[in-house]
Structure 1
């Protein structure tokens, strides 16, 4: 005789199914049998839909009050109103005393505040629109929406300041493959790599005519910016938190909640409209009267309002004559052919407040 085997709902031996990880099995009752996501690298899962995901994230932060305030609160908690420099030199390695190091640090911090936080000059910004704190706030906000920070380090000769280094903030949406070419092993979504996987350069799409709101504000020209000069000076800054090897771009934090963030406001608007409609009518009465008779009763016919008064008096007399009650509760006896429909708002919310 053959040994008795207990089978799993998927037809396989139950002992083998139960001895493995439950999350990797078929699930109790086979609920997980059809859940078979593809095993991909992060770049393979992210890059094909990166632009669409970033566009949706920006749309949500523009039009969803909770998302917009969440980004603003995140920026305020991290940066605040002033991003101060706290300079602590290693005085022992510099060969100076602790007292001299403290004095030197105070001079450096005072100079930095005077130069980087000048609201008039804005010398640290290539566009001369931002102070250092404003640039950091913009960087944190961009990282929250798009998952990464990008900037170009420029060397400029400008009257009014002896400093030549300036920072050009770069929106991650501008970094892409030139001409829309496909990704390769050495060029993935605007980031160029060497054999070891280290970033070599970035391809930044230049600004173009806005088209009076119909264009995307970007031209069909790309500028290649190297990561650093041949003597090691940084030229392009790319900051993101990789979660696995080989990752080339950052994933924004809204990708996991975009569907809910987009649909919940629509549900709220629909429920609000439903509540308004239900609040318009407390009750309705269905009658077997014809259209002309009904119009005359409500005063829209030739007889005017006299018929309304006569009808209401007749109905009132009929209702007053009814003395039906059950355990002290009055039972209405309607006019022949009438139906009383109470319009309740019990289903207006439908659990939305708890949701």
Structure 2
């Protein structure tokens, strides 16, 4: 008799073949009917991208939790101003750092970027910071950022370079044609998988207006960017981005339904305090309501009899009215009951799932900070801060740097700036070396400002950090801060005021030996 050996819990699969249970039928055969197709991101996304993004737009417009998720991205990644910190690659360029040149470039860019007339925007509606906030919102809701550089001569603008934001839904195949190896997601794709051109759908969304498609090359003949497209791919060959809400979209929709249903139930329960129950049979009731002769007025006589009886019955006990009911009637008292009925716990569970899906903290998303200690809050915010900094570096900084490169090129053309002499390379030889930059956005949220200031000072004194890094965490530019400090000290001296007292941090705020570090 042949031995079969040990079997898996399903009684059929040999145990030696079930080492990677994810590829088997699972414990007890739970995954026996689970056969998802093996597809690339493009193959899975492109056929449903339009519908999925439309559903995301719907929940963001109509669901408070989703709208707050978008607002969190804009506030924590960009903030109230997105400022340039210009850092050319001096070593590669072969020249000494020139702080005067850096400050000049930053001043010129900031002037055009934050002009209240929105000269950097082709539509004239956005400053640079507003543009960046919109870009982050679009990336969160659509998975990608798209924009078209334009050259518009304006009398009131010193620059002709303008940026026109493009909604990702407007980029698709001409005439809505099916995807092909060299035409996918509204892009011409070369044999290496790189996008060579983009097709923008033009024309109003109203009915009766003919749609046309405009082909925009990725680069112009001079190497200048002709179309900006920023997203974070998750595998090779991917040409369009996946929005952050895709994994939790179903939960967002069901949460909306659950909240509305629970609210309706609470309202209905609170509307009626009591009702009178009559022994009048169903057949008699239907006869009175539907089958009775309307001309003889039987329905009216019945209702008037009930009304006259209850209006004239005013039996009271200790000042409290006790109605004496008609024969066969009785009173049913209704209470609102437990309107929650486990709803809060279920809602919290769903919101935690959504928060994990979009990469933010549950407390930030729900605005519920109850029963959270200092250490818990800081751990949660530090975890989401890493996510925001990743988004800022990979998405926001890249998009902002591309815009800065376009403006920097026009600065050179119009001779607003002159490149330092003796540089090893010119601008067109090393574009990135000349336009390399960091960007300062919103600062990190301080849970306990005093503790975090002490921590920052200790890091600087121990040589583990710099004023530039610490002030960037606060959303400030260290050069502007130092200049302002010098100006204030000189002004105090000129007015006969004593110099500021630079006291030691420990003397200013001594440590409390009884302080619990976990609170």
Q: Fold conserved (TM > 0.5)? A: yes
Partner of 2:135: 139
Partner of 1:272: 263
**Structure 2: 5+ residue stretches without partners:** 286-298, 347-519
**Using the alignment, how far apart are the partners of 1:93 and 1:9 within structure 2?**
63
**Using the alignment, how far apart are the partners of 1:95 and 1:230 within structure 2?**
28
Distance 1:160-1:286 versus aligned 2 partners, 3 A rule: closer
Is 1:148 aligned with 2:144?
A: yes
**Using the alignment, how far apart are the partners of 1:339 and 1:5 within structure 2?**
73
Is 1:172 aligned with 2:168?
A: yes
Distance 1:239-1:300 versus aligned 2 partners, 3 A rule: same
User: Any idea what SS the aligned residue of 2:84 has?
Assistant: coil
Distance 1:311-1:134 versus aligned 2 partners, 3 A rule: closer
CA offset at residue 248 of structure 1?
0.9
Partner of 1:44: 43
The answer (yes or no) to whether the contact 1:205–1:219 under 8 Å persists in 2 is no
Q: Aligned to 1:246, which of 237, 256, 260?
A: 237
**Using the alignment, how far apart are the partners of 1:160 and 1:278 within structure 2?**
63
**Using the alignment, how far apart are the partners of 1:161 and 1:79 within structure 2?**
25
Q: Deviations over 1:37-57 (max 9, x none)?
A: 111111110000111111111
The answer (yes or no) to whether the contact 1:296–1:304 under 8 Å persists in 2 is no
More strand per residue: 1 or 2? 1
Distance 1:282-1:160 versus aligned 2 partners, 3 A rule: closer
CA offset at residue 309 of structure 1?
2.9
Q: Kindly tell me the number of residue pairs found equivalent between the two proteins.
A: 327
The answer (yes or no) to whether the contact 2:10–2:27 under 8 Å persists in 1 is no
- The equivalences for 1:58-77 within 5 A come to 58-77=57-76
Is 1:237 aligned with 2:228?
A: yes
Partner of 1:309: 314
**Structure 1: 5+ residue stretches without partners:** 320-334
More helix per residue: 1 or 2? 2
Partner of 2:103: 106
Distance 1:16-1:310 versus aligned 2 partners, 3 A rule: same
Distance 1:16-1:107 versus aligned 2 partners, 3 A rule: same
Partner of 2:485: none
Is 1:80 aligned with 2:55?
A: no
**Using the alignment, how far apart are the partners of 2:158 and 2:6 within structure 1?**
82
Is 1:30 aligned with 2:21?
A: no
The answer (yes or no) to whether the contact 1:149–1:240 under 8 Å persists in 2 is yes
**Using the alignment, how far apart are the partners of 2:275 and 2:317 within structure 1?**
15
| Higher relative contact order, chain-length normalized (CA < 8 Å, sep 6+) | 2
Residues 1-10 or 137-146, more deviating: 1-10
Please, what is the CA RMSD of the aligned residues?
3.2
